[in-house]
């Protein structure tokens, strides 16, 4: 047996195996704490009381946010006590995206394993948590309360609709999916134009319920409550930006990809989007 922590051992298949395995788990935890994984996702709760980090190995850590003491000295690096840390392993591989629900008590995570997880984001009460020293690896462990599966390639972005009854997810499989969280059900799947992989998402302008018509000038029915933002903008891998309509279940190219400077040059994907509702401006970012 060759564990991933970099040691080789032979384990007897009798009762001492339990003690040996426990030792290996403790050793792995200590080694991981000394050699932390690369952070691949990050989010701060809406009420600014906690933050979450996602890692290359599919784990998610949740920490409280504490105010720095008032001082004229430069702030020092703070390491939260392990007893205040919440740990989960919702994904088999890289955690690609994290987003808190509006309540700040629930966390949505997405992974390269094609799945979404709904995690409780409650922090442990320090007054009821056993005290631990700074070298301890003790922490509160949680498991997902919901797991959503339906994508066929890594998930790249998510959006939470309203208070969180429904969520949207985008993937390298070139689809935008709408989910019913409480029932763990897939409600809708819309392919991107040209089946292009989707890299980023942002809400478009709020839905106007009056004078809405489709391309044939037929009135569009009022959307369900979770379609308050029926228009979703998505950044695609070919450098274009698409507009998805949750009411008509359709997508179109909003901004075409920029012209390549040479036949051998490819456009960079749109990896980030930001929309300013007041000025109706859409900003796009790319790795190129």
Q: Give the model confidence (pLDDT) of 169-216 as tens digits.
A: 999 999 999 999 999 999 999 999 999 999 999 999 987 654 455 556
Cα dihedral: 9, 14, 17, 19 (round 10): -140
Residue-wise pLDDT for 269-282, tens only, equals: 999 999 999 999 99
Residue-wise pLDDT for 102-138, tens only, equals: 999 999 999 999 999 999 999 887 665 555 444 444 6
Q: Specify the CATH architecture of the domain 153-288.
A: 7 Propeller (2.130)
* SS3 state at 150: coil
Rounded-to-integer distance, Cα 24 and Cα 35, Å: 16
**Average pLDDT for the chain:** 80
The tokens of 199 are what?
A: 């890299």
First to last CA, the chain: 44
Burial of 129 (0-12, 13-18, 19+ CB in 10 A): middle
Rounded-to-integer distance, Cα 60 and Cα 219, Å: 45
Question: pLDDT: is 14 or 268 the higher one?
Answer: 268
Task: Choose among 199, 196, 219, 194: nearest CA to 208.
Answer: 219
CATH code of the domain occupying 36-65+81-125+138-149: 2.40.10
Residue-wise pLDDT for 130-176, tens only, equals: 554 444 446 789 999 999 999 999 999 999 999 999 999 999 999 99
Task: Map out the domains of the chain as residue ranges.
Answer: 36-65+81-125+138-149, 153-288
The pLDDT confidence band at residue 3, using thresholds 50, 70 and 90, is very low
Residue-wise pLDDT for 80-96, tens only, equals: 555 578 999 999 999 99
Under DSSP, the state recorded for 118 is E
* SS3 state at 186: strand
Contact between 232 and 252 (Cβ < 8 Å): no
């Amino acid at each position: 047996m060759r564990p991933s922590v970099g040691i080789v051992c032979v384990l007897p298949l009798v009762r001492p195996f339990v003690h040996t395995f426990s030792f290996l788990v403790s050793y792995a935890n200590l080694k991981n704490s000394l050699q932390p994984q690369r952070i691949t996702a990050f989010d701060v709760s809406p009420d600014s009381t906690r933050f979450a980090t996602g890692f290359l190995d599919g784990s998610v850590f949740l920490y409280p946010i504490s105010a720095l003491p008032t001082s004229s000295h430069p702030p020092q690096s703070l390491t939260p006590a392990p007893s205040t840390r919440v740990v989960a392993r919702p994904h088999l591989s890289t955690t690609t995206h994290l987003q808190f629900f509006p309540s700040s008590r629930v966390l949505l995570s997405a992974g390269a394993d094609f799945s979404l997880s709904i995690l409780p984001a409650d922090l442990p009460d320090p007054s009821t948590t056993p005290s631990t020293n700074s070298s301890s690896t003790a922490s509160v462990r949680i498991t997902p309360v919901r797991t959503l599966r339906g994508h066929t390639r890594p998930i790249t972005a998510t959006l939470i609709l309203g208070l969180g009854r429904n969520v949207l997810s985008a993937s390298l499989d070139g689809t935008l999916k709408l989910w019913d969280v409480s029932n763990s059900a897939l409600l809708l799947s819309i392919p991107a134009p040209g089946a292009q992989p989707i890299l980023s998402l942002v809400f478009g302008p709020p839905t106007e319920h009056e004078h809405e018509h489709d391309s044939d000038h037929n009135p569009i029915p009022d959307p369900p409550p979770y379609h308050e933002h029926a228009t979703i903008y998505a950044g695609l891998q070919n450098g274009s930006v698409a507009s998805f309509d949750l009411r008509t279940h359709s997508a179109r190219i909003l901004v075409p990809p920029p012209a390549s400077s040479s036949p051998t040059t490819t456009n960079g994907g749109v990896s980030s989007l930001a929309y300013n509702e007041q000025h109706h401006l859409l900003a796009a970012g790319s790795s190129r």
